[in-house]
Structures are given as C-alpha cells and as structure tokens.
Amino acid sequence: MATAVVTGGAGFLGSHLCDFLLAKGHRVICLDNLESSSLANLEHIRDEDFVFVYHDVLERIEIDEPVDLVFHLAALASPIDYLRQPLHSLKVGSYGTHNALGLAKWKRARFLLASTSEIYGDPKVHPQPEDYWGNVNPTGPRGVYDEAKRYGEAMTMAYHRQQGVDTSIVRIFNTYGTRMRPYDGRAIPTFLRQALEDKPLTVFGEGAQTRSFCYVDDLIEGLYLLAMSEEHLPVNLGNPGEFTILELAETVIRITGSKSEIVREALPVDDPQIRQPDITRAKEILGWTPEVELEEGLRRMLPSLGREPVNV
Ligand code: UDP
C-alpha cells in the first residue's frame, strides 16, 4: 500500500482521485485550502486511511510520515476563478508547484503535475500532440493560467533533470462529471444547470468553437496509470471525440428534455477555437483509451442533479 498526497484533493478532479486511490487500497493525505473546492466533495468518505489537511500550497508542505506519490492538482482551474484572481493563479502555479515538488524531493516520492491542454493555447496544429509547443498569448487574460502551467512544466522538468526527482506531467483536456460546481462557469455544468431550470443556454460566439470532453472516471484512471508508469515527458489525457459548443448545447437540451432555447453571448477574449487531444502516447505508454462517450457521460451526471435522463 502506497501513501499518496493529493493537493487540491477537495476539488472536482481531486476528490474523484482520492476516491479512486482509496478504492485501490492506498493511504490518502488530501491537502486543500477550499478556495475553489468544498468539503462536501469528501463528506461521503469513511476510511481510516484518509486524512484531510486544511493547507494552502503557497505555504511549505510538512508531512510527518513517508510519502510515495504526490499528485499536484491544486490550481484555480476554472476561467471564472483565475480571471477573478489572476495574481493568485500565477502564485499557485509557481510557488505552489515549487512547494509540491519540494515535498516529492524530500520524500523521494513520484510526482505528477496536473498540467493542461491550455498549454497549446489556440492551436495551429490539430489534433494536438505533446511535441506541439503551442500558441499562447502571455499577456491576455488567460495568460495567468496558461503561463503558470507552462512554467510549472518547466519547473517539473528542471527538478527531474537537475535533481533526479521522479516526475511526470499530464496535460488534461476538458473533463466533466459529478461534483463540478454549477456556477463554475464551465460549459457543461452551466448548460446542465440552465437546461434543468428551463432557462436559456448561453452559447458564446457562434458556438462553432470545439472542445473534446472526457468523462471524469476515464481521466482518473489515466492519471493513476501515468503515476504508476516511469514516464517523465508530458502525456495528453482526454477524449478525442470533438464537438462544437453548439452541438454540446443541443445534446444537453435533448437528454434533459428541457424547454430551454439557445441564446448567443459575446465570445471571451482568446477563447481557443479548436481543441482535440492526440492520445497516441497515452495509448502506447499507458495502454489507456477513454471509454465513456459524451452523451453517456452527461446522462451519468443527471441523477446527482436530481433528474433522470430522457430517453430520446
Ligand atoms: N462556453 C459557452 N457558454 C458558457 C460557458 C462556456 O459557450 O456558458 C464556451 C467557452 O467560450 C468555450 C467552451 O464553451 O469555448 C468551453 O468552455 P469551458 O469554460 O468549459 O472550458 P475551457 O474554455 O477552459 O476549455
């Protein structure tokens, strides 16, 4: 049995990862400052191998026991959060990642950096392989998140190359599932909330921009496989199924049986127009492929929102 530290463990992905690790029989130390997450995501856990520590990753991380794995997920990952707190976003990505890497070095643990498809910005290569360097605007509003993650990747590789820390980097593409906050501003929880209230679905721009959505269970499996591997270079994890945002809105209306209409709102600055992961490396190195299709994943979310899917 390994002991894993999960930073950001009370968040959407972090809490699902804690569940997964506990189910595998590991001990889990969950660190979170509850800035953009909630203890409600952990309240179902009844396991003596689970510890919650209220901690801000901007402070040095002290843990008084051996640690085998450090999953560094803490970040202001939703546009609504990082646009509201741009300086904090940069600090979490820099000092926060430095502190998490420091813990892995001290404990001689395997380290996993949760990086992002935002590394690629508004890509000029499609789908995006890991050796594409991206097209990010450093001074635009999204730069505080994108550049913090790019810096985090550079720092992770430096700890590995210079000091021999056993590191890994996952570039996570859009992921969805239960426990997303209904007001976190992301397309899927927003559209589901609007549809269930029969309110208009707010599609930004023409809705022709694309995203590739991965169900949370598939993603968590991939994170674990990467942590268990010996890979050090970045690996994309995401579902290659690509949809326009308009298609997503129409699917949500259909499966909820909602009477909502679709309205257009202004396209955010630097909103990437296309996004689709090339997952060749994840398949080859980890033997990983996502299994849950978008419509099935959306249907799985509905009971947690108090609704059964409509059969059409
Ligand atoms: N989006 C939208 N309406 C919303 C929220 C988001 O049309 O109410 C669009 C957004 O402009 C983007 C896509 O949906 O093109 C995905 O946005 P999200 O915030 O979910 O993820 P990210 O932009 O980080 O990929």
Fold topology of 178-211+241-275+292-305: UDP-galactose 4-epimerase; domain 1 (3.90.25)
Give the tens place of pLDDT for each residue, 169-224.
Answer: 999 999 999 999 999 999 999 999 999 999 999 999 999 999 999 999 999 999 99
Nearest ligand 1 atom to the CA of 117 is 25
- The pLDDT of residue 84: 93
Average pLDDT over the chain, rounded to an integer: 97
Is it the case that residue 312 has pLDDT exceeding 70? no
Enumerate the active-site residues: 145
Q: Is the CB of 142 under 6 A from ligand 1?
A: no
Whether the CB-CB separation of 176 and 238 falls below 8 Å is answered with: no
> What's the gap in Å between 44 CA and the centre of ligand 1?
30
Q: Is the CB of 180 under 6 A from ligand 1?
A: no
> What's the gap in Å between 36 CA and the centre of ligand 1?
18
Domain range summary for the chain, segments of one domain joined by +:
3-175+215-237, 178-211+241-275+292-305
Give the tens place of pLDDT for each residue, 78-88.
Answer: 999 999 999 99
Nearest ligand 1 atom to the CA of 267 is 11
- Axis-axis angle for helices 187-196, 294-301 (nearest 10): 60
The CATH label, of 3.40.50.620, 3.30.930.10, 3.40.50.720, 3.20.20.80, for the domain at 3-175+215-237 is: 3.40.50.720
Q: To test the ligand 1 pocket, which listed residue (190, 209, 245, 247) has its Cβ within 8 A of the most ligand atoms? A: 245
Nearest ligand 1 atom to the CA of 209 is 15
